Amino acid sequence: MNKKFFSGFSFVLFVFISTAQQRPLPVIDMHLHCLHADEQGPPPLKIGVPFRDFGVHDPANDYRKAFTNALKTSAWADKFIISPTTDDSLRELTLAQLRKYNVYGVTSGDPELLRVWKKQEPKRIINSLDWNFGLAKKYGLTVDTLEKLFSSGEFKVFGEVTIQYEGFAPSDTAFEPYLALAEKLDIPVGIHVGCGPPGAPYIGAVNYRARLHSPFGLEEALLKHPRLRVYAMHAGWPMIDDMIATMYTHPQLHVDLGVICYMLPKKEFYFYLERLVNAGFGKRIMFGSDNMVWPQSIGEGIETINKATFLTAEQKRDILFNNAARFLRLTEKEIKDMF
């Protein structure tokens, strides 16, 4: 036996095995943001992973100050992660998380910034288009413009649709032409249904209302557009009964676990997820980090799913990958390339 060849061969084999071992099974993040470092307020900001509680507010004081203070000092959390202070570090740290956990992210944000991220990680970044009435006005994102953007192939997903912050339910007639377009072009739509920041109407989103957390607001839209692929971002937290009733009634509806998977007190998140799975919807729950300016939230969210003792290994893989791959209609080759 040629000893030199053998040792060379075992070296190659070793490298092959260790490379294969280093790359975890793929994850699809259905809810990733590409933001500027100061888009959630002046950095650095600390977010709870998870929050211990959501504080106590004396209305004699300014809630905006109390909220900002909680993010500056981590007053509501025992464990927290800190946001980077520059756009470059936010991008680099986010892309590093994607590589570390082998994540492919449906990513939305400032289109110019998104192009920079996409150029750096063309396979891991799946372009998605942020939309609400305010953005439409600011950037001229009319139905015609959207038709061009989606038809060009640059944007694969329509979301995050954040009209809840503006006081609109997804079935509002004003949003109707956009849903009609997405149905016509077969573009999946991710709609924010669930939680924004605590106290949202007091920190700028003046039309945000608690009642719009309910996925019941999706019903008429789903019925009017039966071929539309829709997912309720944040899984309609905390409206568990409404969410289950809506998924039961509308078999095409999916959800993502954005922000709730790392930010909510663990007991509450697991209670919510377990109920959705127990109710029979484990094949329609998709992982989402909703990372904004805290890159480590991606890994935190994935680990929270992996540590759920009530989920089988197969259920974890469904949530982290299989359900989204099916929902996005990825081809066999596209799926294979992600491993």
Residue 192 CB, shortest distance to Zn ion, in Å, is 4
Please say which residue, 182 or 330, places its beta carbon nearer to Zn ion.
Answer: 182
Enter the DSSP assignment of 45. Answer: -
Residue 45: C-alpha distances to residues 143, 263, 279 (Å): 36, 14, 37
C-alpha–C-alpha distance, residues 94 and 33, integer Å: 10
**C-alpha triplet 76, 37, 41: angle, nearest 5°:** 50
Residue 61 CB, shortest distance to Zn ion, in Å, is 27
Nearest residue to Zn ion, scored by beta-carbon proximity: 192
Residue 160 CB, shortest distance to Zn ion, in Å, is 5
Residue 291 CB, shortest distance to Zn ion, in Å, is 11
C-alpha–C-alpha distance, residues 90 and 172, integer Å: 35
Q: What contacts 142, CB < 8 A, 6 or more positions away?
A: 136
Please say which residue, 46 or 192, places its beta carbon nearer to Zn ion.
Answer: 192
Enter the DSSP assignment of 191. Answer: E
Residue 258 CB, shortest distance to Zn ion, in Å, is 6
Asked whether the bond before 43 is cis by omega within 30 degrees of 0, the reply is no
Strand partners, 108: 33
Residue 199 CB, shortest distance to Zn ion, in Å, is 15
Both structure tokens of 268? 């509450």
Please say which residue, 24 or 167, places its beta carbon nearer to Zn ion.
Answer: 167
Please say which residue, 147 or 172, places its beta carbon nearer to Zn ion.
Answer: 172
DSSP H helices, the chain, are 3-22, 63-73, 87-100, 111-120, 133-139, 143-151, 176-185, 219-224, 240-249, 260-263, 266-278, 296-306, 313-317, 323-327, 332-338
Whether the CA torsion 18, 21, 27, 33 is positive or negative: it is: negative
Please say which residue, 311 or 327, places its beta carbon nearer to Zn ion.
Answer: 327
Burial 150-171 (b: 16+ CB within 10 A, else e): beeeebebbbbbbbbbbebbbb
Please say which residue, 233 or 261, places its beta carbon nearer to Zn ion.
Answer: 233
Please say which residue, 202 or 335, places its beta carbon nearer to Zn ion.
Answer: 202
Residue 19 CB, shortest distance to Zn ion, in Å, is 36
Please say which residue, 34 or 233, places its beta carbon nearer to Zn ion.
Answer: 233
Interface with Zn ion (CB under 5 A): 192, 233
Please say which residue, 294 or 315, places its beta carbon nearer to Zn ion.
Answer: 294
Residue 195 CB, shortest distance to Zn ion, in Å, is 8
Residue 310 CB, shortest distance to Zn ion, in Å, is 25
Burial 88-118 (b: 16+ CB within 10 A, else e): eebbebbbebbeebbbbbbbbbbbebbeebb
